[in-house]
Amino acid sequence: MITHDTNFNQFYGNPVSGAIDAAALLGIDVIVNHHSGDLYQMASEIRAAVDNGVDGIITTITDLTVLEAVKYAKSKGIPVVVYNTGELYSYALGLTRVLQSDLKVGIMVAQQLQKHGFNRTLAISHKKNIEGETNARLEAIAKFLNNDPYPVLMRPTIVLVPLWKASEIIS
């Protein structure tokens, strides 16, 4: 399992624990590598795993560098399962993808915001994501909360904050 994700993910549950539990039931080994910031290293590890003869890869497709590594794995006949990001690319490559769609994730985030009394948000993104991924999530949030989406600002992490707190974060 080679992923950009962290050990704890609020909106997707914990796919790593699920993979480890499933592997234990099936009597197989799972090696987990997280790359929260270095996507070139993540892509390099995908290629190295393929070259070392892994039986399969569970990953996230976070950018075009990682996408190329996933294409490499597919070209070598390695089964790849995608979760979290990379929805559109996984379908185009004929890969198995698990968990919610980006639209559903946006709705889930909006439901949590609304549950806590927030109805206007500011999205801050750490990098340019694969085209359509972040936008689908943000559009779903805006539609669910029935307001216009705010621009995505480039910052060190993806954060959804109530508008009245945005000045504290940006300044």
Arithmetic mean of pLDDT, 7-16: 59
Residue 37: partners with Cβ closer than 8 Å, 6 or more residues away: none
**pLDDT digit string (tens) for 41-93?**
889 999 999 999 999 998 888 888 888 999 999 999 999 988 877 777 787 88
What integer pLDDT is reported at residue 87 of this predicted model?
72
| CATH topology assigned to domain 2-98 | Rossmann fold (3.40.50)
Q: What long-range pairs does 26-35 form, CB within 8 A, spacing at least 24?
A: 28/55, 30/1, 30/58, 31/1, 32/1, 32/3, 33/1, 33/2, 33/3, 34/3, 34/4, 34/5, 34/6, 34/7, 35/2, 35/3, 35/4
**pLDDT digit string (tens) for 18-43?**
788 888 998 988 888 877 667 888 89
What integer pLDDT is reported at residue 69 of this predicted model?
95
What integer pLDDT is reported at residue 13 of this predicted model?
54
pTM here is 0.65
Strands, E assignment, 41-135: 57-59, 80-83, 96-98, 121-125
**pLDDT digit string (tens) for 124-169?**
655 555 555 667 777 788 787 776 555 444 433 344 444 444 444 4
Residues facing residue 62 across a β-bridge: none
Q: What is the CA radius of gyration of the chain?
A: 17
